[in-house]
Structure 1
Amino acid sequence: MKNVDEAREAPTGAPQEELGTGERSTRNRVARSILDHGPSTVAELAGRLGLTQAAVRRHLDALVADTVVQAREQRVYGARTRGRPAKVFALTDCGRDAFDQSYDKLAVDALRWIQERFGGDEAVVAFARARIAEQAAAYRRAIEAADPERRTEALAKALSADGYAATARSAPPPQRGEQLCQHHCPVAHAAEKFPQLCEAETEIFSELLGTHVQRLATIAHGDGVCTTFIPKAPPAAKASEISKTTHNASASTAGRNPA
């Protein structure tokens, strides 16, 4: 809801009302007014925005349907007057998230503070590993409950539940294995400044899947998708040999973009 256009003046001299494609713009103004002034009645919104109450109700109905605002009874302080309490409309958490937020800057500032006060890069690495380890408990349960050949798919579903919009697919030839693709990264802006977040994530993927993995691309580095290559499981005779190199291989490629 950024760069919202101003409502146009109706040619008849009626209150300012949306014309043609201005519906979405006016709806954004209604939500913005609630953000700026707090829970509001239809009459209050109409007065602030120069709209008819009927128009405000129509936009509020659409915003409620989109879970941007919710209706509730107005709080009354002191003696309650006769009649039904006025209904006010307030933003939901989803509605607030649609406006500018400072979460990314807060995360970067917090990581920089950790870096400067508690041991430099090693402190950031420790934080990144602790963070992903806590998340990984659910991932581990999902993988352990899956058939061996569907472990990557199970990990993708678990990641999607955390907002990563992940999928699993066969890797293109000549590679023999799978690609874990994360189409969204909730911490991409922080990871751009602190790649330790990507490195810790890659390490935990290797640990959970029991094989070395290779990060091919990351959203934090400007790619459209975070892509991790998971090689096909080796023959049983070679499994123990591969496991010895798991940690080193994953650590050496974690969070990197091959040129």
Structure 2
Amino acid sequence: MKNEQQLSEGRTRHGVARLLLERGPITAAAVAETLGLSPAAVRRHLDCLVADGEACMRDAPSRGRRGRGRPAKLWLLTETGRARFGHAYDDLAIAAIRFVAESAGEHAVREFARRRVNAMVGRHRDDVVGEQGPAERAKALADALTSEGYAASTRRVGAGEQLCQHHCPVAHVAAEFPELCEVETAAFAELLGTHVQRLSTIARGDAACTTHVPLGGAEPPEAGATAPTTTEGTPS
């Protein structure tokens, strides 16, 4: 009986962690509502994730004048928490790419990155380019990236679309070799048929990899900016 309870607790905690991954930063109240849990249960799981170094908390951005009371708190995964969802072989990958860079130069690293991303998106090229317009293509690309483990989504921000990747299986590698992010961004532009701008990356410590896709000549936000969040801090 105790083992069954522990397994159930573990599954629930993993569900809370996945929600932080896919929709963080997010409030505890939004986690409770989405998963159908009591606020007390969510708080217990969040506290355990924090104690294990897998989650952290920050104040929600202020929106004009605030009333009395404490500011809302937003929860998100740390790098340790993201490791639940696939950072395997990071050390080996970094060592291998370092060897490539030292043996054949930076151009070889970029060529490796290009072949990698082309192989990944090539499996979904027909689905993406078959859509009409950047917004529809961005949605198809998000679906393709999700199937590849990137937990991606799109949202309309002003007159543009933002493609958000809530997980990056190669974030640790990309932190040392930004060529992976640069080549990926170029591949997105080619698939979507429009210039795109990378606003944030998990590799740089941001909560998500966010790419601005202009619609109808929309101007991109300032580099480094992220999409505005709802009260719950979740993408629509």
Q: What is the TM-score when the length of structure 1 is the normalising length?
A: 0.51
C-alpha distance 193-258 of structure 1, shift in aligned 2 (>3 A): farther
Total equivalences in the alignment: 150
Give the superposition deviation at 1:138: 2.3
Which runs of no fewer than 5 residues in structure 1 stay unpaired?
Answer: 1-16, 28-96, 236-248
Within 2, Cα distance between the matches of 1:101 and 1:155? Answer: 22
Within 2, Cα distance between the matches of 1:19 and 1:150? Answer: 47
1:205 aligns with 188
2:92 aligns with 106
Contact kept in structure 2, 1:221 and 1:257, CA below 8 Å: no
Alignment of 1:133-144 (within 5 A): 133-144=118-129
Give the superposition deviation at 1:257: 4.0
Alignment of 1:152-191 (within 5 A): 152-171=138-157, 173=158, 176-191=159-174
Alignment of 1:63-142 (within 5 A): 103-119=89-105, 121-142=106-127
Within 2, Cα distance between the matches of 1:227 and 1:158? Answer: 16
**3-state SS of the aligned residue for 1:220?**
helix
2:215 aligns with 232
Which runs of no fewer than 5 residues in structure 2 stay unpaired?
Answer: 11-82, 227-236
2:22 aligns with none
Question: What is the percentage of aligned positions where both structures have the same residue?
Answer: 46
Within 1, Cα distance between the matches of 2:93 and 2:102? Answer: 14
C-alpha distance 165-130 of structure 1, shift in aligned 2 (>3 A): same
Q: Which protein is bigger by CA-based radius of gyration?
A: 1
C-alpha distance 101-206 of structure 1, shift in aligned 2 (>3 A): closer
Give the superposition deviation at 1:234: 4.1
C-alpha distance 180-102 of structure 1, shift in aligned 2 (>3 A): closer
Within 1, Cα distance between the matches of 2:108 and 2:207? Answer: 29
The Cα offsets for residues 69-104 of structure 1, whole Å up to 9 and x where unpaired, read as xxxxxxxxxxxxxxxxxxxxxxxxxxxx97997501
Q: What is the TM-score when the length of structure 2 is the normalising length?
A: 0.56
Within 2, Cα distance between the matches of 1:169 and 1:156? Answer: 10
**3-state SS of the aligned residue for 2:153?**
strand
1:145 aligns with 130
RMSD over aligned Cα atoms: 3.3
Higher RCO structure (Cα 8 Å, ≥6 apart): 2
Within 2, Cα distance between the matches of 1:164 and 1:232? Answer: 23
Give the superposition deviation at 1:19: 9.1
Give the superposition deviation at 1:143: 1.2
